[in-house]
Structure formats: C-alpha cells, structure tokens
Amino acid sequence: MVPTLGGSARARENTDAPATEPTRHNDAMADLDALRTRFAQALTAARSSAASAASAASAASATTEPAPDPAPYADNLLTRWQEPQRHYHTLTHLTAVLDRVDELAEHADDPDAVRLAAWFHDAVYLPDRSENEERSARLAERALPEAGVPAERTAEVARLVRLTTTHAPAPDDRNGQVLCDADLAILAAPPSTYAAYTAAVREEYHFVPNDAFREGRATILRQLLALPSLFSTPHGKQAWEATARYNLAGELEMLSP
C-alpha cells in the first residue's frame, strides 16, 4: 500500500447526453472482465515452471491433473478490492499498479511474480489495522499453492507483498523495486489525480480526528521528502521523481497551520 497516516475511471467519449445506468453497468462489467483476464494470464504464467516439472516427471502418464480454474481466485480478490471501507485502495488503484508493473516489467527478474504480488498487496485492507500487509501475504501463501503456483514463486510473491510495508527494496532486489515503484507511482500523478488520491486517503481515515490526521500525514510526507530517492527503478527516477516531490511538497505546505 502507499504510505498513508484513484488511477482513472474508464474513459468515455464525449457526448451531449449523459451516460445511462446500463452504460455504466456495462463499462463496470467490462472492467471486471478485463481484470479477470489479467489475473488468469498472470496465474497461468506463474504456474509454468510447476507445469514443466510435472510434465517431465509424468511424461509416461496418459493423464495429468488439470490446473485449477483461475476464475474463483480472481473473483475472490476482486470482491476484496471492492469492499466498502475502501476509497483509495480500490480496483482503480489495483489497475493502476498493474499498469505500472507492465510499464516497468523489463526491469523485473520475475515480472509474473510481481504481477501476482500486485494483486495480493492490498487484498486484505482495513484502515484501522496495522497488519494488512502481513495478512495479505498470508492470503497469498494459502491461495497460490492451491491455485497451482510452485512453492518458490509463492514465497517470492509473499515476500514482495510484505515489502510494501516499508517500500524499501534492496539495491539488487529488482522485483521489489518494480512493485514498490508501481505502488508509489500515484505520488507522481497529475495535480487533479493527486488531489483525488489525497481526498480518498482522508476518506479512508475518516475516523481519525482532523488535527491528528494532519499531523500524521505531514510526518509521513516529511519522511518521504527526506529520502535520497522515492523511486528505485531507472524509469521511476527519471519519469516520476521530480513530479512526486513537487506533489508531496505542495501537500505538505497545505497541511501546515
């Protein structure tokens, strides 16, 4: 998750008449179908090493056990990402992170593991709880082996999910760098999108009094601005660093009394 104490909706052509409810419903269904497809592709790719090993071990066998259907796993995750307590950590955020992972994929050692980590990184999210990343990682550790993902890759996905607690990947952790940069890319959003992000974060923390929220948020912004670099990948540093620092500094100024 992005440190806190979204993306864009589907584009629609301009028309003179407002969109109807059936149109909105159809757009939402298309978005969900697209996400189901993306999850199925990531899961299938992540299974590949296990499938190859199983094929080699049972080459003489006439039958092989079919891999589990990705659909129930995708639907479980999509349900989680649509829970009512979420205002920033929604399907919009998930889609944005997946898009940024694709943008940075060449930097990753195992982009398929990173994509699955993106799906799980905020799968468990309660704003008033501090163990969301750990619980999300444990969910991945339970679900992915059952879904046919090999143990080594499952462990990597869970490690990456836990890394989003700190967003501090090691210099040689290319997978971690991609996931963390993708998760933090919202900090470099255009002004209107960044403003919507900060408003959504505040709504998630509606139960925190204003003074306490402003103080906590300001502390985090100062910590981020004190970092030598907000991003770890070459693309992130070049394309996002300056804009993110501008956004963070502007928000911090607005929070100052």
- Judge if pTM exceeds 0.75: yes
- pLDDT at residue 29, as a whole number: 84
- pLDDT at residue 3, as a whole number: 61
Q: Are 156 and 178 in contact (CB under 8 A)?
A: no
Residue written as tokens 């109807």? 20
Per-residue pLDDT of 24-56, as tens digits, reads 767 788 899 999 999 999 999 999 864 444 444
DSSP of 142-190, one letter per residue? HHHHHTT--HHHHHHHHHHHHHTTTT---TT-HHHHHHHHHHHGGGGS-
Domain ranges of the chain: 38-44+70-255
Instruction: List per-residue pLDDT tens for the chain, 257 residues long.
Output: 666 553 333 333 344 445 566 667 677 888 999 999 999 999 999 998 644 444 444 443 445 678 899 999 999 999 999 999 999 999 999 999 999 999 999 999 999 999 999 999 999 999 999 999 999 999 999 999 999 999 999 999 999 999 999 999 999 999 999 999 999 999 999 999 999 999 999 999 999 999 999 999 999 999 999 999 999 999 999 999 999 999 999 999 999 87
Per-residue pLDDT of 221-251, as tens digits, reads 999 999 999 999 999 999 999 999 999 999 9
- How far is 183 from 100, CA to CA, in rounded Å? 8
The yes or no reply on domain 38-44+70-255 and CATH 1.10.3210 is yes
Query: What is the three-class DSSP state of 71?
Result: helix
First to last CA, the chain: 27
